[in-house]
Amino acid sequence: MLAELQQVSKHYDHPVLKEISLTIHRGDSIAIVGPSGSGKSTLLNILGTLDRPSSGRVILNGEAVELLDDNQLAWIRNRFIGFVFQRHYLLPQLTLLENILLPVLPEKDRSVVKVAEHRASRLLGRVGLIDRMTHLPGELSVGECQRAAVVRALINKPGLLLADEPTGSLDEEHASALGRLLTELNLEEEIGMVVVTHSMELARGMKEVYRLHSGRLEKLEEA
């Protein structure tokens, strides 16, 4: 098992999540849909250790997140989880390849960096960007940048890929293409994937679909 939410609740000035439980295994792909403000980002951020639950537990890679020290948390965020957001957040002054290798730069071991460089070019080829790797983000389309952001999220071979509205900045055609790419990478890379989205089309590409409604998760369908 990669990750588990155990009766996670979150309150701000009002209850947002109510005793949500969810288990994610390697190879799973899970979509979470729901209207704006229903708590999708809150749920994903708690799963990604970017936010804390008010009550309940998050288990990642077999460990209770609340018991991890800062080093272990940093390891989980850098190595175990890959994040993709609605905006690509590529740094404009770095090439695509440099952006993608950024999460690897803290690594002292040169052989690890070599492996990552190899993996970066393989994945860039995989997403159709091999001839773009020395370009700056400003020279590329938003769809191309978002594909590069997916590669960056995968560079450290994470167990878990978390995506918050990954197609939210794309037109219909590029959104469909990115959705197909995520579905394929889920199988090829054997990662667990949780995708939060407005888009039912993107959601249908995942194996399980849940709707977040009044703070609770209800399962919609299984493909």
Give the interface with ligand ADP as residue ranges (CB under 6 A).
12, 16, 34, 36-42
Cβ-based nearer residue to ligand ADP, 45 or 99 = 45
Nearer to ligand ADP, 72 or 86 (CB): 86
Task: Using CB positions, name the residue nearest to Mg ion.
Answer: 41
Residue 186 touching Mg ion (CB under 5 A): no
Closest CA to 169 of 88, 103, 79: 88
Question: What does the alpha-carbon distance between residue 184 and residue 206 come to, in Å, rounded to a whole number?
Answer: 10
CB of 220 to Mg ion, least distance (A): 18
* 176, 183 contact by CB (below 8 A): no
Nearest to 33 by CA among 176, 223, 206: 206
Judge whether 84 and 161 are in contact, CB under 8 Å: yes
Q: Which does 39 bind (CB under 5 to 8 A by kind): Mg ion, ligand ADP, none?
A: ligand ADP
Rounded-to-integer distance, Cα 189 and Cα 142, Å = 24
- Least distance (Å) between residue 88 CB and Mg ion: 16
Find, among 194, 202, 178, the residue nearest to 43 by Cα: 194
Residues 29-88 that bind Mg ion (CB under 5 A): 41
The distance of closest approach from Cβ of residue 17 to ligand ADP in the complex, given in angstroms and rounded to an integer, is 8
When CB distances are held under 5 to 8 angstroms depending on the partner's kind, the choice from ligand ADP, Mg ion, none that residue 146 binds is none
Q: Which of Mg ion, ligand ADP, none sits in contact with 34, Cβ below 5 to 8 A by type?
A: ligand ADP
The backbone torsions φ and ψ at residue 159, rounded to the nearest 5 degrees and listed phi first, read -75, -35
Q: How far is the CB of 16 from ligand ADP (least distance, A)?
A: 4
Token pair 């996670």 is found at 8
Q: List contacts with Mg ion (CB under 5 A).
A: 41
